[in-house]
Amino acid sequence: MDLQALKNKYDIIGNDAALNDALETAVKFAPTGLSVLILGESGVGKESVARIIHQFSARRQNSFFVVNCGALPKELVNSELFGHVKGSFTGATDNRKGYFEDADGGTLFLDEIAELPLESQALLLRVLQSGEYRKVGSNKIEHTDVRIVAATNINLYEAVKRGKFREDLYFRLSAAQIRIPPLRERRSDIYLLFRKFTSDFSEVNGMCKISLQSDAIRLLEQYRWPGNIRQLQGFTQSLTAQLSRKVTPTLQRIELSAKELEPFMPTEQGEPIPMLYEGPQPSAQSFNQEERQAIFKAIFDLKQEVDALKVRLDRRELPPPPPVFPREEEQEAEWQEQEDFIHGEEPVREHSLSVRRSEEELIRQALEKYHGNRKKAAEELGMSERTLYRKLPQEYRRK
């Protein structure tokens, strides 16, 4: 099947090169039996790609199940995935099959996989490795032959570094990746999708199709569509319902200019707009001690996050390892520069509030917050336990 025939069969609209590459990769992965990870923002059509993988595989005659991991109740995730036996928990009045038993021989599409609890991720890894699982409340080992196609709209590598996703499961899934581009990267496809959506909606409701003049097309393409295809479809249907009229022998289509379209364009509420601050510069007296410490920590954390986000452009390659926490001397110098910047002063070594004291106060607050638990305090501050111990205030070294 050629690429255009594939798009027609699965109702996929667009000629973007990145989209075409994603579809071709899906067809290549399909017959291999590999677990596949689909990356992409909400609303880009990840489920359609998962269905293509299933239909072009040897499992196409068997079941295809869709599981939204984010919609599963946390306390029932394992029961939903693996089943349970009668009496295993309150409300378990009967034995129940899970998705892995129902989908035996077929494909299981796990959408929003990053929402799975860590315990469930461990059980999922075991199924991927050996095909073995246990129902909740049972000691009997069950076997299943299920292919996993997973999807997520977040950066799983960052989730691994935050301890929210298992590293071993990440490596197991990330070997075969497919990235679906967001609509803002497919601007030439936006009007094609608009025409498709208004045509389908008009045909069902007996209304005139909406078309756009060139200036209106540019206006449509300039918007970033954060909700992607799903948002564009809802917008187009709403616009057609509001502006179109019933089809008559003399009226088949309504054409809009940019001026006519603009009042109906969506706006993104609550997004901060960067502006140049032209007011008086803050002085040392503008912030109290607690505020200064919060600002210092926020600036340092932001730098850490920016460094972590410098990943390779090719999403199919493993991002670089997490940045190493700076040495004590380097960090102390960096914090001193940040403090001087906030106070509007040139960097100096002597200051009314020493960097060392500021750092010790942050560590002291973190330790008090976690009742002396150094591991949790180190995680809070973004440093290793070894670094934290080196920087401990004197009163905590004796504990």
Are residue 259 and residue 294 in the same domain, yes or no? no
- Say which range, 119-123, 129-133, 249-253, has the weakest mean pLDDT: 249-253
* Separation between Cα atoms, residue 111 and residue 105, nearest integer Å: 19
**By C-alpha distance, which of 182, 180, 175 is closest to 29?**
175
Instruction: With respect to residue 344, please indicate whether it lies within any of the assigned structural domains.
Output: yes
Helix (H, G, I), strand (E, B) or coil at 348: coil
Assess contact for 67 and 110: CB atoms under 8 A: yes
385 and 241, same domain (yes or no): no
Q: How far apart are CA 314 and CA 178, in angstroms?
A: 11
pLDDT at 31 (0 to 100): 95
Summarize the confidence of residues 96-111 as an average pLDDT. 95
The verdict on residue 273 lying in a domain is no
Which pLDDT score is estimated for 313?
40
What is the value of pTM for the model shown?
Answer: 0.66
* Pair (376, 291) in one structural domain: yes
Is 57's pLDDT higher than 60?
yes
Provide the domain count of the chain: 3
* Residue 208 falls inside a structural domain: yes
Residue 218 inside a domain? The answer is: yes
> What is the average pLDDT across 297-322?
52
Half-sphere exposure of 181 (CA within 13 A, CB side): 21
Domain for residue 275, yes or no?
no
Domain boundary (181, 210, 237) is at: 181
**Beta-bridge partner residues of 142:** 133
Indicate if 291 and 252 belong to the same structural domain. no
**% of the chain at pLDDT higher than 90:** 58
Q: What is the pLDDT of residue 324?
A: 42
Domain membership of residue 274 (yes or no) is no
| CATH number of domain containing 229 | 1.10.8.60
For residues 160 and 96, state if they share a domain.
yes
Same domain, residue pair 166 and 225: no
Which range marks the domain in which residue 230 is found? 184-264
Comparing C-alpha atoms, which of 127, 108, 115 is closest to residue 73?
A: 115
pLDDT of residue 394: 66
In a domain, 205, yes or no: yes
Domain closes at, from 181, 200, 219: 181
pLDDT at 312 exceeding the cut of 50: no
Statement to judge: residues 172 and 192 lie in one domain: no
Looking at 195-209, 223-237, 374-388, which range is the least confident one?
A: 374-388
Q: Which of 233, 264, 295 is the last residue of a domain?
A: 264
Low-confidence winner among 36-40, 50-54, 246-250, 292-296 (lowest mean pLDDT): 292-296
For residue 23, give Cα distances in angstroms to 12, 177, 196, 253, 269. 10, 12, 20, 33, 33
165: CATH? 3.40.50.300
Cβ(14)–Cβ(192) under 8 Å?
yes
Q: Say if residue 26 is in the same domain as residue 167.
A: yes
Report how far apart, in Å, the C-alpha atoms of 108 and of each of 64, 144, 151, 220, 282 are.
Answer: 6, 12, 11, 36, 56
In tens, the pLDDT along 129-142 reads 999 999 999 889 99
Looking at every residue in the chain, the average pLDDT score rounds to 82
Q: Is the pLDDT of residue 321 over 50?
A: no
Least confident of 29-33, 79-83, 208-212, 393-397: 393-397
In this structure, what DSSP letter does residue 96 have?
B
174 and 295 part of one domain: no
Same-domain pairing of 30 and 100: yes
- Rounded to the nearest angstrom, the gap between the alpha carbon of residue 52 and the centroid of all alpha carbons in its chain is 22
Query: In the prediction, which pLDDT does 325 show?
Result: 43
Residue 176 shares a structural domain with residue 201: no
Residue 283 burial by Cβ neighbours in a 10 Å radius (0-12, 13-18, 19+): exposed
Residue 212 in any domain: the answer is yes
Round to whole Å and give the CA distance between 80 and 98: 5
- Residues 136, 188: one domain? no
